[in-house]
Structure 1
Amino acid sequence: MDAEKPPLEILLCAPRGFCAGVVRAIDAVEQALNLYGAPVYVRHEIVHNKYVVDALKRKGAVFVEELDEVPDTSAPVIFSAHGVPKSVPDAAAGRNLFAIDATCPLVTKVHREAQVHHKRGRHILLIGHRGHPEVVGTMGQLPDGAITLVESAEDARTLMPREPDNLAYVTQTTLSLDDTAEMVAILRARFPTMSEPHKEDICYATTNRQEAVKSVAPRVDAMVVVGAPNSSNSQRLREAAERAGCARAVLVQRAADLDWTVFGDISRLGITAGASAPEVLVEEIIDAFAVRYAVTVETVTSSHEDVFFPLPRALRPDAAE
């Protein structure tokens, strides 16, 4: 049978898939279910992946968009990895809810930076995407008007802050490295006294996954990014592949979403996965290609990751004793 199939070499990007913040957030929901039983309420998708969310629902997690959907309960209420505005934990405390914050520590770092700049009297420029939960959460750390959102190079060029000599910038953690570098360069040129993060805000996982894609994309005929359409880091991977020279770059959630007309005559395929996409979905995609092609798989590693974040304190093994 394989003799009749066209050969296909798959280059698997590494690192790919789950990052330490996503692992911590998913583990937080599972550990809350282990310690306290169902239901466990989760405000917003714990991570942007339908497969992960559906699996947690089957175990007893109840996902809500806002706290007012949570009944008066002693069950845990978990905040997603993307972070939340300050008003959310305040509202939870006002209702005596058992709130557990699963915000990624690297997002919390951005929140703290913004708070420090605000205390020092600086106006903050936040480079990010309007409406993304992480941006909503970061802007919600400070009073209205304390942060200005910068979404594009055009925004960076035309922004007219009230105190141009008293600025600081922070960024969403899941942005395009190239887009962000362009915006920062424009802002630096316009506002040379602007304060900068001590360490890059774009997280290690976003950076590493984009660099892996950039190394593979010029070598392949097509690239599949496994991830959700509402996942910022997954969308940026697709864009990075296109920019690096792969004209056929697609973002899919599952093998069933593959449009086979896109692939046709390819002989080499790149595959990666966003930071909230589980490896089982990568394997599903490879299996789908193996039905149609005689597949060989090679992993292309651009960096190694060993980052680990401990669970929120309320969920550590001794918490329920």
Structure 2
Amino acid sequence: MTDIAQAPQEVLLAEPRGFCAGVDRAIEIVERALLKFGAPIYVRHEIVHNTFVVNDLKAKGAIFIEDLADVPPGSTLVFSAHGVSRAVQAEARARGFEIFDATCPLVTKVHVEVAKLAKEGYEFIMIGHKGHPEVEGTMGQLSGGIHLVEDVEDVATVQPAQTERLAVVTQTTLSVDDAAQISAAVRRRFPSVREPKKQDICYATQNRQDAVKLMSPQVDVMIVVGSPTSSNSNRLAELARKLGVPSYMVDSAAELQPEWLEGRKRVGLTAGASAPEVLVKAVIDRIRSFGAVSVRKMDGIQETVKFPLPKGLKAPEGLAPPAGSQLHAGAAGRAPEQGS
């Protein structure tokens, strides 16, 4: 044990946290493709933005690429959970790959909406982060007519060709509050803009941010498990800081610094939607090694969403996800609660 002076007395676990249905599905697609076709399986871009997950799948035979020219003819190719442009889809088909699309169905919903409204003559304002693969995939559904805004200031600079048919779409992993502020700015400038019937930000992003809002007044410091490239994980850490709580993101338990916890009685712990529960458990073990005595799980929404696998990879009824890793919630188990 590595005691620190004034070690935390309690770890408060966010609920929900960690894997969402879209991430679980994407990982399972790669694992089932490996079982069915054997290694290697090629994946365009990181399947999800988490170092542990990517390294685990690499060890099983997945090869992550950005350029389809790096994929040998006749290979099996998986598109990442973030989605791809129509140009990438067309190139993959032209090269004759066996393709499995792990795009999150909630991202696909945005793509379908863009295609539908584009046929009706709409232009689009997309709220999102430049360079993020989800944004590139959504904007790549059309050859033009999608204007990206990253903040309220960007809204003033948008110059659509017309304003009679203008619609808003958003990246699914944004800060709910930031997206609402930018959407309000869009409405002020373009009062007739069409908004989604149901907001594009996904249920898991919303739920994890709501849990951080609920937890923040109850803790002295917040630890977010997630990789630096994970948009939704970064938003959790940002949100806690906005609520006045010191917040740190860690990609693994080894990154946790004891001085962050010095004199903090209660530690809040959550995980982004691409971070497996096994990493949360490792962080708990490290905090306990500093002298923390109890772990308590917050009450929160129990997520039951499950997305179907693509044809050709569907499992027989009742068959569990592939074994052999600690990626899935069932394999990793949930972290221990108070008294354990």
Q: TM-score range by the shorter chain?
A: over 0.9
Residue 39 (str. 1) matches residue 37 (str. 2)? no
Q: 1:238 & 1:6 partners in 2: Cα distance?
A: 22
Deviates more, 1:159-168 or 1:304-313: 159-168
Report the count of equivalent residues. 315
Q: Which amino acid aligns with 1:105?
A: P
3-state secondary structure, aligned to 2:17: coil
2:296 matched residue in structure 1? 298
Q: 2:154 & 2:293 partners in 1: Cα distance?
A: 45
* Identical-pair percentage: 54
2:201 matched residue in structure 1? 202
1:307 matched residue in structure 2? 305
Q: Deviations over 1:135-157 (max 9, x none)?
A: 000011101x3100011011123
1:103 matched residue in structure 2? 103
Q: Which amino acid aligns with 1:194?
A: V
Q: 1:93 & 1:157 partners in 2: Cα distance?
A: 39
Q: Which amino acid aligns with 1:18?
A: F
- State the shift of 1:163 in Å: 1.3
1:279 matched residue in structure 2? 277
Q: 2:299 & 2:155 partners in 1: Cα distance?
A: 35
Q: 2:19 & 2:76 partners in 1: Cα distance?
A: 24
2:188 matched residue in structure 1? 189
- State the shift of 1:158 in Å: 3.4
Distance 1:291 1:121, change over 3 A: same
2:69 matched residue in structure 1? 68
- State the shift of 1:259 in Å: 2.3
Q: Deviations over 1:162-195 (max 9, x none)?
A: 3123210100000000100000111112111111
How does 1:1-321 map onto structure 2 within 5 Å? Answer: 6-73=7-74, 75-143=75-143, 145-246=144-245, 248-317=246-315
Answer yes or no: is the 8 Å Cα contact 2:227–2:251 preserved in 1.
yes
Q: 2:225 & 2:182 partners in 1: Cα distance?
A: 27
Q: 2:80 & 2:306 partners in 1: Cα distance?
A: 17
Q: Deviations over 1:40-77 (max 9, x none)?
A: 1111100001101111111111111121111113x310
Answer yes or no: is the 8 Å Cα contact 2:258–2:290 preserved in 1.
no
- State the shift of 1:260 in Å: 2.2
Answer yes or no: is the 8 Å Cα contact 1:222–1:270 preserved in 2.
yes
Task: Give the TM-score, by structure 1 length.
Answer: 0.95
Answer yes or no: is the 8 Å Cα contact 2:4–2:291 preserved in 1.
no
Q: Which amino acid aligns with 2:257?
A: D
Q: Which amino acid aligns with 2:262?
A: G
- State the shift of 1:245 in Å: 2.4
Distance 1:265 1:3, change over 3 A: closer
Q: Which amino acid aligns with 1:90?
A: A
3-state secondary structure, aligned to 2:14: strand
Answer yes or no: is the 8 Å Cα contact 2:42–2:63 preserved in 1.
yes
3-state secondary structure, aligned to 1:165: coil
Q: 1:6 & 1:269 partners in 2: Cα distance?
A: 10
2:332 matched residue in structure 1? none
Alignment gaps of 5+ in structure 1: none
Q: 1:311 & 1:38 partners in 2: Cα distance?
A: 20
Distance 1:67 1:256, change over 3 A: same
Answer yes or no: is the 8 Å Cα contact 1:289–1:295 preserved in 2.
no
Answer yes or no: is the 8 Å Cα contact 1:212–1:301 preserved in 2.
no
Alignment gaps of 5+ in structure 2: 317-340
Q: 2:312 & 2:168 partners in 1: Cα distance?
A: 32
Answer yes or no: is the 8 Å Cα contact 2:16–2:300 preserved in 1.
yes
Q: 1:15 & 1:3 partners in 2: Cα distance?
A: 29
Q: Which amino acid aligns with 1:131?
A: G
- State the shift of 1:294 in Å: 2.9
Distance 1:3 1:105, change over 3 A: closer
Q: Which amino acid aligns with 1:93?
A: R
Q: Which amino acid aligns with 2:260?
A: V
Distance 1:71 1:297, change over 3 A: same
Distance 1:291 1:231, change over 3 A: same
3-state secondary structure, aligned to 1:158: coil
Q: Which amino acid aligns with 1:279?
A: E
Superposition CA RMSD, Å: 1.6
Q: 1:6 & 1:58 partners in 2: Cα distance?
A: 37
Q: 1:5 & 1:283 partners in 2: Cα distance?
A: 22
Answer yes or no: is the 8 Å Cα contact 1:215–1:302 preserved in 2.
no
3-state secondary structure, aligned to 2:297: strand
Q: Deviations over 1:185-235 (max 9, x none)?
A: 111121111111111100000000000011001211100000010100000
